[in-house]
């Protein structure tokens, strides 16, 4: 339907009609009832715009007989009767539309169709009144469009400001998160460094204590070794002294025997 809308916007009603006709079998087979009504309403409008107003009227009869009809559809339906010069039917439908509540856009559409019908019917006395009403409706429609454009501009401005505020807030959150991450990283690094230095100091202290213990052990061993050496020296000295005395005694005995 978006493609059809594009054709209608370009007033290429023939292409729009071809697209709708190509879609018709699938819509009939698969679409729900409310969409079918919408689809065939659009198909009827394209038939009318393509100067096939009788087909359009037949479609509207098939989908709307005995059902509520929108003001917009009644105006287009009346215009289709206008195109085939069935002016009484056209006037009846446009009067039916004029009795229903409607917005300024539909009011302008109805008054334009009514003006065309009355002009073709030759009822010139009523044209001035309808022309005045359609000018008022056109003015109101223009005001609505300007208001909508102004509202749209304000909404766009608000959306832009909101988007910028969101971006700034997101950037602020990112900066805060980065700062928190860096602070946490520094804290973790500081704790890790403290633990490392504390562990290193403990290891150095333990190593120092082990070195002191080794030194004391070596000192004790040296002391014991020195004591053993002194004892050995004393024993050797005593042994030499004993041997010397023995030799001296033997020598004395020997010389006495010589005499």
CA angle 235–220–214, rounded 5-degree value: 145
Rg (the chain; Cα; Å): 58
> Which pLDDT score, from 0 to 100, does residue 154 have?
46
pLDDT digits (tens, 9 = 90+) for 129-156: 999 999 999 999 888 887 777 655 545 5
DSSP state, residue 67: S
pTM of the model: 0.56
Could you tell me if 101 and 109 are in contact, meaning their C-beta atoms sit under 8 angstroms apart?
no
Contacts of 15 (CB under 8 A, 6+ apart): 7
> Which pLDDT score, from 0 to 100, does residue 155 have?
54
Residue 93 confidence class, pLDDT cut points 50, 70, 90: very high
Maximum distance among all Cα pairs of the chain, rounded to whole angstroms: 197
Residue 1 confidence class, pLDDT cut points 50, 70, 90: low
Q: How far apart are CA 252 and CA 40, in angstroms?
A: 160
Residue 71 confidence class, pLDDT cut points 50, 70, 90: very high
**Quick one: tokens of 44?**
């009827």
Among left, alpha and beta (phi > 0; psi -120 to 50; other), residue 31 is beta
Q: How far apart are CA 39 and CA 32, in angstroms?
A: 11
Q: How far apart are CA 128 and CA 105, in angstroms?
A: 20
What does each C-alpha distance from 158 to 41, 48, 58, 149, 155 come to in angstroms? 38, 42, 48, 14, 5
Whether pLDDT at 66 is above 50 = yes
Residue 57 confidence class, pLDDT cut points 50, 70, 90: very high
Among left, alpha and beta (phi > 0; psi -120 to 50; other), residue 85 is left
Mean pLDDT for all residues in the chain = 83
Lowest mean pLDDT among 13-22, 43-52, 140-149, 233-242: 233-242
Lowest mean pLDDT among 32-41, 54-63, 161-170: 161-170
Average pLDDT over residues 40-65: 93
Contacts of 150 (CB under 8 A, 6+ apart): none
CATH code for residues 2-123? 1.25.40.10
What does each C-alpha distance from 85 to 17, 92, 212 come to in angstroms? 23, 13, 125
């Amino acid at each position: 339907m978006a493609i059809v809308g594009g054709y209608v916007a370009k007033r290429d009603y023939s292409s729009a009609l071809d697209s709708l006709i190509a879609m018709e079998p699938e819509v009939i087979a698969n679409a729900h009832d409310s969409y079918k009504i919408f689809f065939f309403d659009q198909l009827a409008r394209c038939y009318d715009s393509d100067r096939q107003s009788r087909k359009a009227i037949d479609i509207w009869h098939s989908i709307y007989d005995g059902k509520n009809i929108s003001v917009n559809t009644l105006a287009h339906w009346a215009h289709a009767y206008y195109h085939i010069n069935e002016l009484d039917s056209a006037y009846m439908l446009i009067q039916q539309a004029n009795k229903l509540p409607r917005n300024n856009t539909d009011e302008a559409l109805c008054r334009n169709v009514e003006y065309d019908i009355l002009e073709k019917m030759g009822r010139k006395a009523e044209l001035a009144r309808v022309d005045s009403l359609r000018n008022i409706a056109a003015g109101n429609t223009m005001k609505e469009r300007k208001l909508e454009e102004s509202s749209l501009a304000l909404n766009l401005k608000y959306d832009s400001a909101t988007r910028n505020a969101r971006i700034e807030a997101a950037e602020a959150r990112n900066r805060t998160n980065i700062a928190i991450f860096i602070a946490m990283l520094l804290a973790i690094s500081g704790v890790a460094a403290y633990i490392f230095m504390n562990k290193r100091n403990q290891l150095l202290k333990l190593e120092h204590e082990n070195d002191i213990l080794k030194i004391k052990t070596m000192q004790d061993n040296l002391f014991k070794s020195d004591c053993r050496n002194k004892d050995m020296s004393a024993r050797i000295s005593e042994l030499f002294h004993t041997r010397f005395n023995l030799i001296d005694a033997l020598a004395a005995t020997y010389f006495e025997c010589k005499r």
